């Protein structure tokens, strides 16, 4: 059926679920959970159930819906089971390579996320001892290794010895048919335990089991557990028993469901008024005039010499806006770098360097790698993160949470606007503590930031009522290329607007500083290429207007994002989108919203899978 071969550098990210329950309908719940995890990977999926005579396994290439279809009419069910949805970037995904994988006896089934670096050596040794492999994955090695260890040890010991032998990264859930318990281990790959009522869960991410519990245990690297419906015993890889804290996550089921919206992305765009309101509201003093952050800076504010912001993708764009806020409001020099670039540099860092790591998921491997390097060099770490208990939060000195709620759509939206809001608050707090910002100015900024939620709602209400953005999206959906231009604090918004369009509509789009256009990209302009200008009220608006004229005189199509009441730019523009006026620094938080909607409507009109765009996964947990 396939000739897929795992390559040395194959990158795999996946969603894992395991359920041990008194309820017999584990099969349906595994499939339900896999659907919730599909944003992590959607090339193939599979489940394993403990049944009377052993283990029942069903796998399917393609979406979880196909697995569900395959399972229709199937009468097997169980109280214990595991499931997996997979995403691969190298090599063809296939049924044979899908998880769960088993040992020779078929008594052990397991799912895995990560990469086993020493799998070739282990596979050779196991084959020499007579083990027969049926897939070309690294994962299958783990099942045979446990089987081999079982010759001498109890299952828990066999499992522990196996995970200790593995090199690389892994989140593993193993099912042993003779016991009906689940065995779980974690190293450099996300895994969280859910504590239910006479049932327990394990998954790559909380939304997988949110319908059944919001009480969780975050496993650390080097930790494992044995799970039954009534118990969760945790150990470290040395076998020492551990006592772990159970935490209630502040997320609810409604947040993790579409709630009548066609796509998660649209729902999440529409949640931004509340998400930004929650993120800000939690950090203002009762009189609403001063910022009161919940954590202290790991370096006294007056001693910070420079700030280094590390992030990837949309979070990187938030960092670029954050640089403006921090430099202009708190007077500290700021550098911004991609996690994937920074981690391979020889960075100049000292103990007066404050690193701010930004990540929605807190599991992005490149950001985490960059933070670890910065820490080694002596930096202190603050993170801005949306996921409580994620890896990034555990390696940071202080974390400021964005209260966006679960973000399911691969295209990040509400995480971005809440990250910008938090950056603004950080800048105000640092500025005032360093004496760079007067109390009066801080109060003025606080009043402005408090107006954000209502203004966001106004944009969204208008979109629903007038549908102008959808009309423009339909018009640009036939374009092959698009340019997004902005200046100053809106330049990162041009980058983010372009990223949104390309990742879900597959239209090539480039974000550029408007003033740089004449140094090259202007050659792209023709009647077919739309240019989106971010031209809201600002100190550089006149300059942006000149750039528009340059495009107009070359017959380019112009879509302008302008402040309410603006008249002059209408003549230059083919299409106009209006947003409420606000302080220049806060404008990016409003300006990105119509651009998210533009990308959404274009992708939806083109019939693309908006929430799960091709080749992408929500959390990029490998480098």
Q: Name the minimum Å distance from CB 361 to ligand M6R.
A: 3
What is the strand order of the sheet 182-187 is part of? Answer: 101-102, 108-116, 168-176, 182-187, 223-227, 232-236, 241-242
Total binding residues for ligand M6R by CB under 6 A? 16
620 lies in the binding site for ligand M6R (CB under 6 A): yes
H or E element that contains 32: helix 26-37
User: How far apart, in whole angstroms, are the C-alpha atoms of residue 319 and residue 34?
Assistant: 32
Q: Which residue is nearest to ligand M6R (CB)?
A: 313
Q: Name the minimum Å distance from CB 503 to ligand M6R.
A: 6
DSSP 577-590: EEE----TTTHHHH
Residues 6+ apart with CB under 8 A from 156: 183, 226
360 lies in the binding site for ligand M6R (CB under 6 A): yes
CA distances from 199 to 35, 245, 278 (A): 20, 17, 32
Considering 14, 225, 312, 385, which one is annotated as catalytic? 14
Q: Name the minimum Å distance from CB 363 to ligand M6R.
A: 7
Site mask, ligand M6R, residues 385-414, x = CB under 6 A? -------------------------xxx--
Q: Name the minimum Å distance from CB 39 to ligand M6R.
A: 10
Q: Which is nearer to ligand M6R, 213 or 361 (CB)?
A: 361
Q: Which is nearer to ligand M6R, 156 or 622 (CB)?
A: 622
Q: Name the minimum Å distance from CB 410 to ligand M6R.
A: 5
What is the strand order of the sheet 199-203 is part of? Answer: 54-61, 44-51, 80-88, 12-21, 199-203, 192-195, 215-218, 247-248
Q: Name the minimum Å distance from CB 498 to ligand M6R.
A: 11
Site mask, ligand M6R, residues 130-169, x = CB under 6 A? ----------------------------------------
Q: Name the minimum Å distance from CB 274 to ligand M6R.
A: 20
DSSP 502-540: HHHH--EEEEEEGGGGGGTGGGG-STT-EEEEE--SSTT
Nearest to 165 by CA among 142, 138, 189: 142
3 state SS of 570: helix
Q: Which is nearer to ligand M6R, 18 or 313 (CB)?
A: 313
DSSP state of 327: I
Residues 499-528 that bind ligand M6R (CB under 6 A): 503
Nearest to 445 by CA among 458, 426, 459: 426
- If phi > 0 it is left, if psi is from -120 to 50 it is alpha, else beta; for residue 291 that is beta
User: How far apart, in whole angstroms, are the C-alpha atoms of residue 517 and residue 556?
Assistant: 13
H or E element that contains 274: helix 272-281
Q: Which of 85, 97, 364, 418 binds ligand M6R (CB under 6 A)?
A: 364
314 lies in the binding site for ligand M6R (CB under 6 A): yes
| Residue 464 bears catalytic tag | no
Q: Which of 13, 309, 312, 355 binds ligand M6R (CB under 6 A)?
A: 312
Site mask, ligand M6R, residues 15-54, x = CB under 6 A? ----------------------------------------
Q: Per CB under 6 A, which region of 66-74, 251-259, 357-365, 593-601 contacts ligand M6R?
A: 357-365
User: How far apart, in whole angstroms, are the C-alpha atoms of residue 216 and residue 204?
Assistant: 12
| Residue 14 bears catalytic tag | yes
Q: Which of 361, 399, 538, 560 binds ligand M6R (CB under 6 A)?
A: 361
Using only C-alpha atoms, the chain has a radius of gyration, in whole angstroms, of 26
Q: Which of 137, 177, 340, 359 binds ligand M6R (CB under 6 A)?
A: 359
3 state SS of 186: strand
Q: Which is nearer to ligand M6R, 149 or 367 (CB)?
A: 367
Q: Which is nearer to ligand M6R, 18 or 594 (CB)?
A: 594
Residues 407-466 that bind ligand M6R (CB under 6 A): 410-412
Q: Name the minimum Å distance from CB 316 to ligand M6R.
A: 7
DSSP state of 208: G
Q: Name the minimum Å distance from CB 599 to ligand M6R.
A: 10
CA distances from 495 to 156, 198, 314, 408, 482 (A): 50, 48, 9, 22, 12
**What positions carry a catalytic annotation?**
14, 618
Q: Which residues bind ligand M6R (CB under 6 A)?
A: 312-315, 359-361, 364, 367, 410-412, 503, 616, 619-620
């Amino acid at each position: 059926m396939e000739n897929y071969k795992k390559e040395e550098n194959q990158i795999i990210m996946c969603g894992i679920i395991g359920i041990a329950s008194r309820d017999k309908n584990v099969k349906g719940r595994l499939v339900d959970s896999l659907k919730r995890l599909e944003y992590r990977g959607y090339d193939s999926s599979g489940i394993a159930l403990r049944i009377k005579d052993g283990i029942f396994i069903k796998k399917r290439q393609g979406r979880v819906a196909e697995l569900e279809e395959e399972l229709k009419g199937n009468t097997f069910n169980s109280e214990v089971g595991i499931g997996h949805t997979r995403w691969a970037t190298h090599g063809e995904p296939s049924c044979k390579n899908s998880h769960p994988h088993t040992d020779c006896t078929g008594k052990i089934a397991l799912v895995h996320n990560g990469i086993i670096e020493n799998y070739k050596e282990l596979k050779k040794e196991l084959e020499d001892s007579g083990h027969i492999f049926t897939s070309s994955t690294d994962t299958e090695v783990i099942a045979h290794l446990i089987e081999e260890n079982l010759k001498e040890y109890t299952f828990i010991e066999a499992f522990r010895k196996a995970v200790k032998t593995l090199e690389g990264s892994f989140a593993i859930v193993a099912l042993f048919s003779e016991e009906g318990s689940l065995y779980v281990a974690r190293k450099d790959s996300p895994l969280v335990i859910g504590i239910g009522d006479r049932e327990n869960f394990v998954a790559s991410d909380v939304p997988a089991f949110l319908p059944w519990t919001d009480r969780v245990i975050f496993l650390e690297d080097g930790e494992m557990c044995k799970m039954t419906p009534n118990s969760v015993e945790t150990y470290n890889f040395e076998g020492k028993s551990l006592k772990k804290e159970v935490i209630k996550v502040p997320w609810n089921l409604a947040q993790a469901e579409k709630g009548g919206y066609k796509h998660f992305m649209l729902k999440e765009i529409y949640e931004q008024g509340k998400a930004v309101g929650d993120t800000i509201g939690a950090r203002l003093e009762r009189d609403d005039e001063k910022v009161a952050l919940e954590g202290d800076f790991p370096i006294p504010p007056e001693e910070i010499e420079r700030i280094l912001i590390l992030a990837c993708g949309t979070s990187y764009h938030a960092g670029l806006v954050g640089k403006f806020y921090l430099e202009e409001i708190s007077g500290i020099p700021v550098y911004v770098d991609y996690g994937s670039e920074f981690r391979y540099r020889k960075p100049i860092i000292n103990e007066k360097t404050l690193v701010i790591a930004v990540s929605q998921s807190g599991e992005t491997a490149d950001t985490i790698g960059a933070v670890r390097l910065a820490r080694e060099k002596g930096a202190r770490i603050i993170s801005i993160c949306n996921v409580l208990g994620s890896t990034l939060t555990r390696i940071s000195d202080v974390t400021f949470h964005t209260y966006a709620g679960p973000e399911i759509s691969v295209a990040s939206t509400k995480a971005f606007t809440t990250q910008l809001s938090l950056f603004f608050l950080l800048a105000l707090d640092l500025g005032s503590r360093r004496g760079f910002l007067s109390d009066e100015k801080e109060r003025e900024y606080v009043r402005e930031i408090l107006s954000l939620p209502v203004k966001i709602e106004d944009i969204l209400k208008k979109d629903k009522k007038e549908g102008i953005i959808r009309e423009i999206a339909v018009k640009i959906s036939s374009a092959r290329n698009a340019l997004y231009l902005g200046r100053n604090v809106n330049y990162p918004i041009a980058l983010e607007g372009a990223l949104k369009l390309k990742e879900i509509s597959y239209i090539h789009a480039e974000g550029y500083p408007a003033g740089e256009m004449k140094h090259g990209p202007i050659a792209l302009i023709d009647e077919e290429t739309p240019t989106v200008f971010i031209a809201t009220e600002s100190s550089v608006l006149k300059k942006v207007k000149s750039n528009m004229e340059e495009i107009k005189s070359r017959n380019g199509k112009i879509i302008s994002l302008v402040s309410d009441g603006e008249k002059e730019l209408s003549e230059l523009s083919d299409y106009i989108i209006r947003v409420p006026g606000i302080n220049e620094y806060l404008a990016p938080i409003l300006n990105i919203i119509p651009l998210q909607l533009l990308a959404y409507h274009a992708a939806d009109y083109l019939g693309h899978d908006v929430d799960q765009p091709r080749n992408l996964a929500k959390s990029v947990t490998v480098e």
